[in-house]
Amino acid sequence: MTDSSTVLIDARGLTKVYGKPGDKTGFTAVDGIDFQVRRGEAFGVLGANGAGKSSTMRMVACVSPATAGSLRILGYDSGADGAKIRARLGVVPQDDTIDTELTVRENLLIYGRYFGLSWKVLRERSTRLLEFTRLSEKAEDAVATLSGGMRRRLTIARALINEPEIVLLDEPTTGLDPQARHLLWERLFQLKQDGVTLLLTTHYMDEAEQLCDRLVVMDAGKIVAEGTPAELIARYTLREVLELRFAPGERQIMTDKCRGLAERMEELPDRLLLSTDNGEETLSAVHRQGVQPLTALVRRSSLEDVFLTLTGRSLLD
Ligand SMILES: Nc1ncnc2c1ncn2[C@@H]1O[C@H](COP(=O)(O)OP(=O)(O)OP(=O)(O)O)[C@@H](O)[C@H]1O
């Protein structure tokens, strides 16, 4: 039986400084962060480009040493016991690193040999993992013939070859079309159902909202919020958002008229977002001011709004 109270990844004061040790010009990419990932959960790290997500993932993957702080994974110290930890991790890096000279199945077999698995075990596992990632029909094809989504699924199959307890995924769906993203996230959901612990970074708030049990928001190397998606939405947003778009020439005057109509207003390059507890009422107030938007949309507040509130930036921009 799995014990969901067991902490598998325990980061305290975790810091990454790039540059020579002691060099004052070093750049602090991860700035003393604390987080704990428990067995069986999907834990998300959200942040804009450069927030420090990949640097954090590389430390957890034990391929980049922490500059300071402590990082314990599966009960081991990441600095001293990197090899033991790596043997029990699956890693899906941001860029696909599969061998395009080999066939789909050969990629799994060769990678599995690094873990010292026998050919017999590898043949069984590769068949099962190709089924799991919906690649059975492509097993004997060259990797070069695969679509982007298929390659990403192969990278996931490869990461599972050693039956890892934790899988790290850095931006797993970036660059995929919506259908490929959907299939990939559905497979990740299944992985979680199977009891695998997931630590992932993403730009896609809708997916993070559905898949992640808990998440942290990173900004400039620090964690600025932590909680379940629902907790974060309740803590940092009002119930609804009214999104307004204007004709280019009217934007400034309309924005000025909208000021004060909602508790909070965010100006994005292409939209105005008014946070409110009642979007329809706010829209009526907008109309009473004589404001005529090109489009008006009332929606529930989301993680995207949490991110905007916390960092002043939209992840979509
Ligand atoms: N090897 C390196 N040497 C120097 N600076 C680095 C190195 N790797 C990353 N950085 C810097 O550290 C900061 C954090 O980078 P990191 O890749 O961790 O961010 P990120 O949140 O993963 O962003 P992205 O989504 O673009 O991958 C950035 O400013 C980046 O330029």
For the stretch 198-254, pLDDT in tens is: 999 987 888 899 899 999 999 999 999 999 999 999 999 999 999 999 888 888 888
**Do residues 227 and 250 both lie within one domain?**
no
**Do residues 224 and 247 both lie within one domain?**
no
User: What ipTM, to 2 d.p.?
Assistant: 0.95
The pLDDT value given to residue 207 = 83
**Do residues 84 and 186 both lie within one domain?**
yes
Ligand 1 atom with least separation from CA of 56: 18
**Do residues 55 and 139 both lie within one domain?**
yes
Name the domain count of the chain: 2
**Do residues 250 and 282 both lie within one domain?**
yes
**Do residues 70 and 122 both lie within one domain?**
yes
pLDDT digits (tens, 9 = 90+) for 144-160: 999 999 999 999 999 99
Domain with 166 in it: 7-19+27-233
Tell me, using a 6 A CB cutoff, whether residue 195 lines ligand 1: no
With 70 as the cut, is the pLDDT of residue 22 above it?
Answer: no
**Do residues 174 and 297 both lie within one domain?**
no
Residues in the chain: 317
**Do residues 128 and 168 both lie within one domain?**
yes
**Do residues 168 and 273 both lie within one domain?**
no
For the chain, give the mean pLDDT: 91
How far apart (Å, rounded) are the C-alpha atoms in residues 216 and 206? 15
**Do residues 88 and 51 both lie within one domain?**
yes
The residues near 209 (Cβ < 8 Å, ≥ 6 apart) are 229, 302, 303
With 50 as the cut, is the pLDDT of residue 1 above it?
Answer: no
Q: pTM for the full model?
A: 0.89
In this structure, is residue 314 part of a structural domain? no
With the most atoms of ligand 1 within 8 angstroms of its CB, the residue from 27, 56, 222, 317 to mutate is 27
Q: Are 180 and 149 in contact (CB under 8 A)?
A: yes
* Residue owning the nearest CA to atom 24 of ligand 1: 49
**Do residues 184 and 265 both lie within one domain?**
no
Count other Cβ atoms within 10 Å, centred on residue 213. Answer: 16
**Do residues 96 and 216 both lie within one domain?**
yes
